Structure 1
Amino acid sequence: MLLMSSLIFIFLVVLVPHVVLARGIRRSEEILVFDQNYKVTWGDNHVMSLNQGKEIQLTMDNSSGAGFASKMTYGSGFFHMRIKVPGTDSGGVVTAYYLISQGNRHDELDFEFLGNKEGKPYSLQTNVFADGEGNREQRIHLWFDPTTNFHDYKILWNPHQIVFYVDNIPIRVYKNNSNLGVSYPSKAMQIQASLWNGENWATDGGQTKINWSYAPFKANFQGFDISGCQSQSLIDPNCVSYNYWWNDKNYWCLDPAGQRQYENVKQNYVIYDYCSDRQRYPIAPLECIH
């Protein structure tokens, strides 16, 4: 009897956690399939499903680009996508991953990869729209080549802050300063991604046009599970609940290590910040001061 009890104890302590973990892995793998959470929204014949739906490739030629979007909208969350952007001569080509609300005075959170001539670096632009007001562009040069491998791009959005991450390194923070009269995104947003022609503005202020001899351009996406508060209404008070881990106090501000990483990005990789552009803003916008 003692031996049997010992064996049962060993099974519970050692084997059961592995069974639970295996279930979690299987569930996660199922969620990663594109069709479960996303749908193609335009350019159907320029979209290819790879690896049994765990990877999507968008292509662009001189006839069309392509895009996809989440089936649901979300009122808060920690959103991510693994992306590999077009290589070679990609000037004028824009790969976008963003959140956007519908209707007038929309909210929007943008990752925009701005292609460049061969041998010149990509620029990664982020932007924040709140209550229809945008023009909050920041651009960085990445510390790696985003055309050669997949990298993680994430957006934390809760009632206290929005943080843009690249490979878990914070590259931008937008705090909730609504108490000072600064607009802050609060509308339910859909996740979208696209590959499109931005030659009128994206590279060298629109001076560099797309070299179509390099078409079709290809952008690849992975990681289709979503950590977000699903919302059917434009403003959903349930999405600010502390029951969602991304709303926990630990995510109200960067921790010390994250703050050091963020300061390093600002010092060494930022190439444009609207907060410092005195030609556009002789007086710095209020959110830039606080």
Structure 2
Amino acid sequence: MAVAASGSFYQDFDLTWGDHRAKIFNGGQLLSLSLDKLSSQGPTHDEIDFEFLGNLSGDPYILHTNVFTQGKGNREQQFYLWFDPTRNFHTYSIIWSQQHIIFLVDNIPIRVFKNGESIGVPFPKSQPMRIYSSLWNADDWATRGGLVKTDWTKAPFTAYYRNFKADACSWSSGTSSCGSRSSSSFSDPAWHTNSLDAPSRRRLRWVQKYFMIYNYCADLKRFPQGFPPECERSRF
């Protein structure tokens, strides 16, 4: 799976819940979602997550990432961002290839999840994927472990999205065929090789050194019998 190419929210998204809580503006280029209740789905799904966790007023927002395969996740990494995500639009990207999944913020890699099938780690590749965007209530765990509850007097909570871009490559017998719309830095072959290039590794180290606040691969209390096998591999 690769990326790139402008799309329209009218064209590429279905509004499947929430009555009038989802709205599309500006000729399909801007989407707003408002939350006052929650929705959920699925038992054995694959999933690649960007989630913004709620906060106390004045505290930094937490960007939560996770990778599910066949309904099993537990691969969380969390980050403070180096900016206030509520002040301006920023670009949040996922590159999903046969080699790895890369999470990027403003084209800066913050996390790499490598294909670890050779060491017995399932990798999401056997099911078609769709993009889901939603707001939901996770105050039983998300904010300070569930200590801070949602203040519904401040509802509705609204998220805005714009400049959606996506594209895909189909793989057959080790070769890929990409859509003619593929463009931008994401179609650079460097993103789809087995390891990041030197500048990308430096940016990843910077983010993980100064902004990562949780890594499941460093949580000894959670894995007293030993870390998952992918934790023993290089981050790059």
Q: TM-score, normalised to structure 1's length?
A: 0.70
- Equivalent of residue 9 in structure 2, options 11, 34, 52: 34
Aligned AA for 1:188? Answer: P
Query: What secondary structure, in the 3-state scheme, does the structure 2 residue paired with 1:45 have?
Result: coil
Aligned AA for 1:270? Answer: M
Aligned pairs for 1:16-35 (under 5 A) are: 31-35=6-10
Aligned pairs for 1:57-76 (under 5 A) are: 57-61=32-36, 64=37
Alignment of 1:243 onto 2:173: no
Q: Which stretches of structure 1, 4 residues or more, deviate above 6 A after TM superposition?
A: 245-248
Alignment of 1:160 onto 2:99: yes
Alignment of 1:150 onto 2:89: yes
Question: Using a 3 Å threshold, how does the CA distance of structure 1 residues 104 and 269 change in structure 2: closer, same or farther?
Answer: same
Alignment of 1:201 onto 2:141: yes
- Equivalent of residue 168 in structure 2, options 188, 211, 228: 228
Structure 2: runs of 5+ lacking an equivalent: none
CA deviations on 1:237-265 (whole Å, 9 max, x unpaired) are 54963333778853222111000000111
Structure with greater strand percent: 1
RMSD: 2.3
- Equivalent of residue 212 in structure 1, options 140, 152, 166: 152
- Aligned equivalents of 1:260 and 1:204: distance in 2? 30
Structure with greater helix percent: 1
Aligned pairs for 1:44-123 (under 5 A) are: 44-61=19-36, 64=37, 105-123=44-62
1:66 Cα offset (Å): 7.6
Quote the sequence identity (%). 44
Query: What secondary structure, in the 3-state scheme, does the structure 2 residue paired with 1:257 have?
Result: helix
CA contact (8 A) 1:241 1:247 kept: no
By relative contact order (CA 8 Å, sep 6+), the higher-ranking structure is 2
Structure 1: runs of 5+ lacking an equivalent: 1-27, 68-101, 231-236
Aligned AA for 1:148? Answer: R
1:211 Cα offset (Å): 1.1
Query: What secondary structure, in the 3-state scheme, does the structure 2 residue paired with 1:288 have?
Result: helix
Structure 2 equivalent of residue 289 of structure 1: 232
Structure 2 equivalent of residue 234 of structure 1: none
Structure 2 equivalent of residue 261 of structure 1: 203
CA deviations on 1:70-109 (whole Å, 9 max, x unpaired) are xxxxxxxxxxxxxxxxxxxxxxxxxxxxxxxx97532110
CA deviations on 1:17-57 (whole Å, 9 max, x unpaired) are xxxxxxxxxxx6xx532111111011031112222221011
Q: TM-score, normalised to structure 2's length?
A: 0.85
Larger radius of gyration: 1
Query: What secondary structure, in the 3-state scheme, does the structure 1 residue paired with 2:227 have?
Result: coil
How many equivalent pairs are there? 219
